[in-house]
Structure formats: structure tokens, C-alpha cells
Amino acid sequence: MSIADTANRPGAVDRLRDALPKLVLSPTVAIVAIFVYGFIAFTLYLSFTDSRILPSFGWVGWQNYHNLFRIRAWDTAVSNLVVFGVLYIAICCALGLLLAILLDQRIRAEGFIRTVYLYPMALSFIVTGVAWKWFLDPGIGLEAVVHGWGWESFQFDWIKNSHMAIYTIVIAAVWQTSGFVMAMFLAGLRGIDNEMLKAAQIDGASTFALYRRIVIPQLRPAFMSAFVVLAHMAIKSYDLVIALTGGGPGTSTELPATFMYSYTFTRNQMGIGAASAVIMLMTIAAIIVPYLWSELREKK
Amino acid sequence: MGFLDIKQATKSYGAVQVLHETNISIEEGEFLVLVGPSGCGKSTLLNMIAGLEEITTGEIAIRGRSMNGVKPADRNIAMVFQSYALYPNMTVSGNISFGMEMHGIPKPEREKRIAQVSDLLQISHLLDRKPGQLSGGQRQRVAMGRALVREPDVFLFDEPLSNLDAKLRVDMRTEIKKLHQKLGTTIVYVTHDQIEALTLSTRIAVMFGGYVQQLGTPKEIYDNPANMFVAGFMGSPSMNLFPAKVVSADGKAAAEVKLADGNTAAIPFANGMLSSSVGRDIVLGLRPEAITDQDGADRNSRAIHVVNAPVEVTEPAGSDTFVVSQIGGKDVTGRFRADVAVNAGETFPFAFNMEKAVAFDPQSENRIV
Amino acid sequence: MSTAPDTRAFDPTAAGAGSGRKILQTSLRPARVILYLLLALFCIYYLLPLYVMVVNSLKPLSEITAGGMMALPRDWTLAPWQSAWSTAQVGVEATGLRPYFINSIIMVVPAVALSTLLGALNGYVLTKWTFRGATVLFGLLLFGCFIPFQIVLIPMARVLGLIGLAGTVPGLIFVHLVYGIGFSTLYFRNYYAAFPTELVRAAQIDGAGFFRIFWRILLPSSGPIAVVCIIWQFTNIWNDFLFGASFSDFDSQPMTVALNNLVQSSTGVKEYNVHFAGAIMAALPTLLVYIVAGRYFVRGLMAGSVKG
């Protein structure tokens, strides 16, 4: 078939062939349109209705949202999210950066160590929750072990303490994802031009000055990425909380994700549950959308 | 003892030796170029002078002071890198002043030097920009500015022009040469471009395989290459190297060569060269500008010999025409004047200027004196 | 667009031992010693929970309740594993985790295969047969990867009920397929974006059509990214809990949900050793994949995040 031939072909087949790429893409487009955006619209709509156990379509305007912000559990969930989010992101970044810098020093067995630091990412949050739940349990976990070693007065019952339980979630979450942040920073470090480090050596920069003034500023893209990913994971945190504390003691480790689930499916307050889901979406969108926008624009 | 002494320096990584015993001594104000193909050891040697690589054996001394074990920051050297290595998060003025800051030079003095250098390099209007906003040539100048403000004993350049486009490269080459003449600094410059080596240097070290093949002035390297590698590497187009046999013709030593049409020609040497080596197989070296059309030959030479040889290809290049003939099985290129009527396929008289001839031993590849 | 760096070029796991730079002036022995000490300390931090789980899954319950979580078993026993697999009480049935492990497998394989294939086709179209608005479309698709899935739970439950897939494994396959397409498209799209378009044009001139170019030219060179995609999808879908908890009923629940049920059961004595054995069982597939193909795992992570 020569190019000349194709120019003379009948129009219908041509048009079919031209449409083929879009045809192939269309199932995905349809799926995304319905199951992502359509569903978002649906849930959004529901948040303005009086749905209880089942979706209902009686319009109530902003009432669900008003009620939402008057529920104590939601208050707890939001403040928990802030505490958890800030600590989670900060500690992961600090730890990840530290480990990346350490690993960048021409370490023997670097591959092995990296594998060890990263493997928790391969685990389900449920598994992580199970592991840490017992580790943190005062009865048989760390506290008991330390008692067994002779240090009787050691206390580590955070997981049973409603003020401190949220911090146990931080501990487990950091354990799971700090390896990933390390990998990102390590990639960033490796991307730094070697000649620049040589120049800094000749300029006489001390190790401290080198990191503070040259290396770390260049890791800004990595920080941005890490922040976006971690923030997004923090907002979506559900599995870990369920496995580790179940939201308790009481509602002290409630997070928006667990709140939404329990209000929608267990407490039969679908309208409020939908409203909470919408709030979650807005929060994530506020972070992701500017980020995606800048990424997509750049490549164009 | 010179200003910069490299004494018996070697470098090995474990069992692999990348630099063999190297001895180079240069005076203050000299412009030494280390030239050679990739992997020849030139960058390694430069890094050793900078202190970025440890010397395995031997010694490097600046101003008579041994630099073994001395950190790069304490050697009073400055370096310009191929990728410029500017700090992207700092402004141009920040980049230039960083080294001075690290060495504890007070602010007024730093500002003064920055002003001087940026004037000299014409980058004063760029001081507040970041490297990402500059063109390649501008970055190059900033990198040089950063080196200049340190007022070091030795300037090191690591292929600084390789990332520039051809026109810019030529312009910057001239700028570097002017700077050197104006400031009288001592420079060690690494490049793989032999033209940069010839045009910029006061002395060249041609390197290959971890050895210095020859150390000499540009003229020495060009006219009297020490071996076939140097002969072929330096100069563009490169020196013609083709097999010949030393024979006796009319009582003088001559080079007998096989032409493409099966004939042989005996080209007499000049000045009694190789008169005691009759019967020896050699590799004859002649640069294209020494093989010309008859009327284009050097008038001052007393050893022009004309040979009629078959022309294989002609390459009109505007200012000259390069004419290729197969001699001794090798492509030999002559440089003819542009308006000579020479065509491929015909036999044409080639004028060989034997005063410029060099002879090499085929086995050792070294020049036969 | 790069929501990813060039994931093929980048590969921190490819760099072998000793490939970092000596930024810190670490030719000093004491500094190196401290460095390795710190690194070892963190290794312990990461390995400790795993160690605890493994070790305690091999102890009889009496040893655990007696204390000494960290100690090695005195009476090694595989009984907890047998129990976790086939006899433990999960919810109301005492079947162990085996049926749910199988559920997970049945769920994961088709979902991964289909979403990878669709992702490849989508990536192909978006990069080699691009059209106006393709980037916007891609952006919308990408956003879908990041949404909190809580927002789709209610309508999805309805839809699954309507089409009769509620509480079934095929229902779960469907859900995971729908929400996995975004990521697989991301991977392939970025990969194919770097693939020379001239090859496609040359094939067109040679007369190859849309599908033939895909089968014969792009797909054969897609090995690395396909592995990345498969590993990433496999890990995510296997480890998922939210969808499993929301859309399965008791018989169709995947491993993660079953594990949670096993662990949360508040009746009777808590058999920690069985719980740990179960957790390890749940973790083994993804862990094995990670150990065997870690490099691809990391690439997937990086590509799914952003500029690193």
C-alpha cells in the first residue's frame, strides 16, 4: 500500500481509521467520565440532600455542611489530620533527607540498605497496623519488653491514651513511607552535577556550608514532590488507622477518612458522610491541582 | 624548579594504572595545554593538580611547596569546569563571591573584586540574575569570573569550551587568549580539541593511554611530532602517514613509495636526512600543506620534488582544494590552490616539500631523528 | 508532561554499591564508623516490626503472653501458621485465611492484566496519535488517580448493586480496573512519550496500521515499563483495604479485609501468634515481588510521584 493509494481510498474507511485512536481511548474516557467525575458529581449532589441509609434526593442545601462542622467527631478528625499531617510530613522529610544524605556517601552494601529502608512501602497498611499495634501495646509490646529488661518504670502506653494515640499513628505511618521519601531525595542528590561539588570543594566550602547553601536548595523539586505525595496520603489515610487503633480510643484517632466511612455506612448519615467526602476532595484538589497544572504546563 | 612542578606523578585505581610517570615543569605565566582523546588521562592529571584526586605516587608542587595531601581549597587554585558548575540557587554575584566567602574574605574586599572582574568580563549587567537565566557564553564568563576573583596561583580549565556552539567557541577562545596576555596568569588547560591546544598554549602536553606522548611548544609539536600518534592527532586535516622504503637515488637517500597506478617513485630527502638508513622501512609523514600543486609549492624550500600520481578524489573547499591520491596503500591528502584544474581519475603532478618531511619507525611508531 | 522524571534513565537502585559520592570528608575512620553505625541503627528500626512478627508467629501463645516479645521462640512451632491458613476464626467462619487469599489472587490477576493492557493502549494513543485536548484529557485522567476514594464509595456501591456485582469478586475486579487505569496510563504515556515518533511514522510509511504499529513496534519494547506497571498495580490492588471493605461481602472479601477481621475479632483469647502469621501471609506476595524486582518497584514509585 503506497501513500498515493491511501489518498484515493473511499472516505468511510479513512474516517474509521482516523477515528480508531479515539475509539480506542473512548472506553477509558467513558470510564473516567462516569466513575470518577460522574461519581464525584453524584456524591457532591448527595451532600446537599437528606440521605440517611440510602441515597435520597430531598434537597437540604448547606444543612449537612453546617451539621458536619458542629459534630465533635469531625472537629477531632480535622484537628487530628492537621496534627498528624504536619508531623507526618515533617518527620518523613527530615528522616528521608537524613537517610538519603547518609546513603549518598559511597556506602558498601548500599543496595541492601536501601532495600531494607524501602520494603515497608510494599506492605499493606493493614499489615503495618497489625505489626505496630502489638509493638505499641503496653501489655505485650515495647513497654512489656523494657519492663522485662528491668526498667520497671518505663511507660509507653500511648496507643491506649486518647491524647497520645494520634502520635502512634504518626510513628507507624513514618515507618511505612520514610523509605520512599528517602528514595526521592536520593534521586535528587544523585541528580546534582558532580562538577558543582568539585567547584564547591575548590571554593573551600565546609561540609556544613556545602549542604546548607548548595545541596539542599537544589533539592527543592524533591521537597515539593515529597510534600505533595505525603499530604495526599495523609488526607487519604484510612487503612492504617483502622488497623492500628480503629479510630480509638473512643474517637481520639478519628480522621476524615474514617469519619466519612463510619457516618456513611455505620451511622446511616449518608448526607453528612457525603459532605465530609466532598471536603476531603476539596482539600486534596487544593494541593494536587496547582501541582498538576504546573507539571503539565511545563512539558507543553 | 618551576612554578608548577609535576614530578614522577602516577595515578592508579586499585590495580588499574590510569596515569603513568609524568614529569612536567612550567614557569609562572605559562599556558600549558593537556590535549588528547577521551581516556588519555588528561582530566585525571588536572584533577590531581587541583587536589580533587589523590596522587598515587610522585609529587605535585606549586611555588616549590608540595601539594601532596593538601586540600583543594588550600592550594590557591581555581577551576573552570566543562559544565560551568554554577550554583543554580545563587545569583551571579553570589556565585562569584562564594569562594571568597568560604575563605573568609571580608565583604568590602569581595565587592571590590566582583566589580573588577565583572567589568573585565563584561558581565556587570548580569550580577543579579541566576545561572538558569543566562546563555551558554554568559555562564562561561561567570565561571571564569568565579575563578578570577580568587586570584589564585594556577588557573585550571577542564574542557571549558566543549559545551559551546562552534562560533561561540572560536570567540571565547580568543577571549581566553586575550585574558591570558593581559593578566599573565599561569594556566593549565585540558581539551580534546587540538586547535585549541595549538592556538592557546605556550606549551602542549599531548597525552594518550595515560602517557605524555610529547611535551613541547606548539611549533615543536606541529613540525616535529615525537611519534605517529602525535603526528596524526595534531593538525587538521591530520598529517599524512604512509609507508615508504629508504633507498639510494643519485647518491642521496630517498623515500620509495608505491603509487596507485602500480608505479613507484623515489622522493629524495632533504638535508641528508636518513642517509645512513638505506634499506630501512619507514612511515613517511607529510602534512597536506607540504603536498601541493607545482606552482603552489613553498618558494623558499630547496627540496621540492614532483611526482606524477593518479588523483582519486578532489574536495574543493573554497579557499583550497584537497586532492587525495593513494600512496603506499594509504589515502594521502594534498592541499592545492583553489583554482588549479585538477580532476579525479587523471594523473597529476604533486609537489612534495621534503623539508617538512618526518620519518617514523613502523614498529615503535616513534620518530626517527 | 513529566509527572515523572525519565524513569528509565533514573534508577537509584541500579547504582550499585559504592556509587555515591564522598561528599562528607569521610576518609576519616571514625566518621565512617559513625556513618555505618547510624545506617545500621536505622536498619534495625525498619526491620524490627518484621522481626517481631516473624518471631512471634512461631511461638506458642503461652510464650507470647508470658512476655518477651523480642525473644526468639523457645518452643518453635508452625501451629499458628496452620491455624492462620486453614482453621482460624475469621468473622463467623473458622476457615483460616486460605479462601480469602485465593479471593485476592482471583481479584488481582485480571485487574492487573486488563488495566496494564488498557494503560498501554491509552499511552500509545495519547503520545503517538495525539490530538488537540489530549493533554487536558490526560490531566483529567491524572487527577482521577489522586482523588480520595471515599468520594466514590456511595455511588459505586449503588452501581455495583444495580448491575448485580455487589459483594462479589468480579465486582472488586471491576472497581480496581476502573481506578487502576489512571496510573497505568500515566506510566505508559510517559514511557511512550520518550519513544521516538519517527519509528511510528516510518512504520506508517511502510503501510502499518494503528494496531500493527502497537503490536509490532511499541509493545515489544515496552518490557521495562510493563513490569513497573504490573508490579505497581499488583502491590496497590493486593494491599488495598478500602474497596475491599466497602464492596465485598463475607465470602468475597480479599486478604486484607479478612486479616483485619481476624485481628479485630474481640471474642475469646487474642491469638497474637496466629495474627502475626496471618499478617505475614498477607504481606508475602508483595514483599516477594519487592525483593525480586525491587528496582522496578522503585521506578514505579517515582513515576507515580513527581520530579524527584
Q: Does the distance separating the beta carbons of A187 and C121 come in below 8 Å?
A: no
Neighbours of B227 (CB within 10 A): 18
Judged against a pLDDT cut of 60, whether residue C120 lies above it is answered with yes
Angle among Cα B195, B196, B200 to the nearest 5 degrees reads: 120
Judge contact between C102 and C85, C-beta under 8 A.
no
Closest chain C CA to residue A219: C308
Most confident of B125-134, C7-16, C75-84: B125-134
Which architecture does CATH list for A67-299?
Orthogonal Bundle (1.10)
Judged against a pLDDT cut of 80, whether residue A5 lies above it is answered with no
User: How confident is the model at residue C233, as a pLDDT?
Assistant: 92
* Residue A272 contacts C, CB cutoff 8 Å: no
User: How confident is the model at residue A177, as a pLDDT?
Assistant: 92
Helix (H) or strand (E) holding B96: helix B92-102
Please tell me what DSSP assigns to residue B366: B
CA distance A135 to A116: 19
Q: B252-258 and B77-80 as β-strands: parallel, antiparallel, unpaired?
A: unpaired
* Residue A199 contacts B, CB cutoff 8 Å: yes
CA distance A172 to A174: 5
Q: What's the rounded mean pLDDT across residues A157-172?
A: 86
Name the residue ranges covered by the structural domains of chain C: 18-82, 98-305
Please tell me what DSSP assigns to residue A122: G
The residues that bridge with B313 in the sheet, in sequence order, are: B324
User: How confident is the model at residue C1, as a pLDDT?
Assistant: 35
Q: Does the distance separating the beta carbons of C43 and A116 come in below 8 Å?
A: yes
User: How confident is the model at residue B111, as a pLDDT?
Assistant: 93
Q: Does the distance separating the beta carbons of C121 and A243 come in below 8 Å?
A: no
Closest chain C CA to residue A236: C148
Q: With bands split at pLDDT 50, 70 and 90, how would you rate the model's confidence at C265?
A: confident
Rg value, chain B, Cα: 25
Q: With bands split at pLDDT 50, 70 and 90, how would you rate the model's confidence at A161?
A: confident
Average pLDDT, chain C: 82
* Residue A259 contacts C, CB cutoff 8 Å: no
| Residues of A whose CB is below 8 A from B102 | 203-206, 209
CA distance A234 to C261: 24
Angle among Cα B115, B119, B122 to the nearest 5 degrees reads: 130
Alpha-helical segments (H) within chain C: 29-56, 61-65, 79-82, 98-128, 134-146, 150-162, 169-193, 197-205, 210-213, 223-239, 242-247, 255-264, 272-292, 294-304
User: How confident is the model at residue C14, as a pLDDT?
Assistant: 38
Q: Is the peptide bond before B237 cis (omega within 30 degrees of 0)?
A: yes
Please tell me what DSSP assigns to residue C57: T
User: How confident is the model at residue A300, as a pLDDT?
Assistant: 46
Judged against a pLDDT cut of 90, whether residue A269 lies above it is answered with no
Judge contact between C2 and C308, C-beta under 8 A.
no
Q: Identify which of A239, A270, A291 has the shortest CB distance to residue C241.
A: A239
- Residue among B34, B345, B346 nearest B189 (CA): B34
The tens digit of pLDDT for each residue in B67-121 reads 998 989 899 999 999 888 999 989 999 999 998 998 888 999 999 999 999 998 9
Judged against a pLDDT cut of 90, whether residue C274 lies above it is answered with no
Q: Identify which of B47, B82, B98 has the shortest CB distance to residue A203.
A: B98
Q: B240-249 and B77-80 as β-strands: parallel, antiparallel, unpaired?
A: unpaired
Fold of the CATH domain C98-305:
MetI-like fold (1.10.3720)
A61: left (phi over 0), alpha (psi -120 to 50) or beta: left
CA distance C220 to chain A (A): 19
User: How confident is the model at residue A299, as a pLDDT?
Assistant: 55
Q: ipTM of the predicted structure?
A: 0.83
Dmax (CA) for chain C in angstroms is 76
User: How confident is the model at residue C7, as a pLDDT?
Assistant: 33
User: How confident is the model at residue C305, as a pLDDT?
Assistant: 55
| Dihedral angle sign, alpha carbons of residues B96, B101, B102, B103 | positive
CA distance C24 to C4: 29
User: How confident is the model at residue A2, as a pLDDT?
Assistant: 52
Judge contact between A131 and C299, C-beta under 8 A.
no
Judge contact between A52 and A271, C-beta under 8 A.
yes
The tens digit of pLDDT for each residue in B265-296 reads 999 988 888 888 888 899 999 999 999 999 88
User: How confident is the model at residue C122, as a pLDDT?
Assistant: 92
CA distance A171 to chain C (A): 11
User: How confident is the model at residue C21, as a pLDDT?
Assistant: 53
Which residue pairs, CB below 8 angstroms and at least 24 apart, start in C46-50?
C46/A116, C46/A117, C46/A119, C46/A120, C46/A175, C46/A179, C47/A116, C48/A135, C49/A128, C49/A131, C49/A132, C49/A135, C49/A175, C50/A119, C50/A131
Q: Does the distance separating the beta carbons of C144 and A131 come in below 8 Å?
A: no
pTM for the full predicted model = 0.81
In this prediction, the residues of chain B whose per-residue pLDDT falls under 50 are none
The tens digit of pLDDT for each residue in C40-71 reads 999 999 998 898 888 888 888 887 777 777 77
Q: Identify which of C12, C70, C306 has the shortest CB distance to residue A186.
A: C12
Q: Subunits that touch chain B (at least 3 Cβ pairs < 8 angstroms)?
A: A
Q: Identify which of A28, A191, A246 has the shortest CB distance to residue C181.
A: A28
Q: Which three cell numbers stand for residue C227?
A: 513490569
Average pLDDT, chain B: 91
Query: What backbone phi and psi angles, to 5 degrees, belong to A42?
Result: -60, -50
Q: In a 10 Å sphere around its CB, with 0-12 CB exposed, 13-18 middle and 19+ buried, how is residue B157 labelled? A: buried
Q: Does the distance separating the beta carbons of B74 and A202 come in below 8 Å?
A: no
Q: B186-191 and B31-35 as β-strands: parallel, antiparallel, unpaired?
A: parallel
CA distance A163 to chain C (A): 22
Which of the two residues, A209 and C96, has the higher pLDDT score?
A209
Enumerate residues 137 to 196 of chain A having a beta carbon within 8 A of any beta carbon in chain B: 193, 195-196
DSSP A209-266: HIIIIIIGGGGHHHHHHHHHHHHHHHHH--HHHHHHTTT-STTTT--HHHHHHIIIII
Please tell me what DSSP assigns to residue B259: B
Grid cell 642521496 is found at B252
User: How confident is the model at residue A10, as a pLDDT?
Assistant: 59
Q: Which amino acid is at A217?
A: P
Q: Which three cell numbers stand for residue A219?
A: 533539592
Judge contact between A117 and C46, C-beta under 8 A.
yes
User: How confident is the model at residue C13, as a pLDDT?
Assistant: 39
Alpha-helical segments (H) within C129-167: 134-146, 150-162
Average pLDDT, chain A: 86
Q: B264-268 and B281-286 as β-strands: parallel, antiparallel, unpaired?
A: unpaired
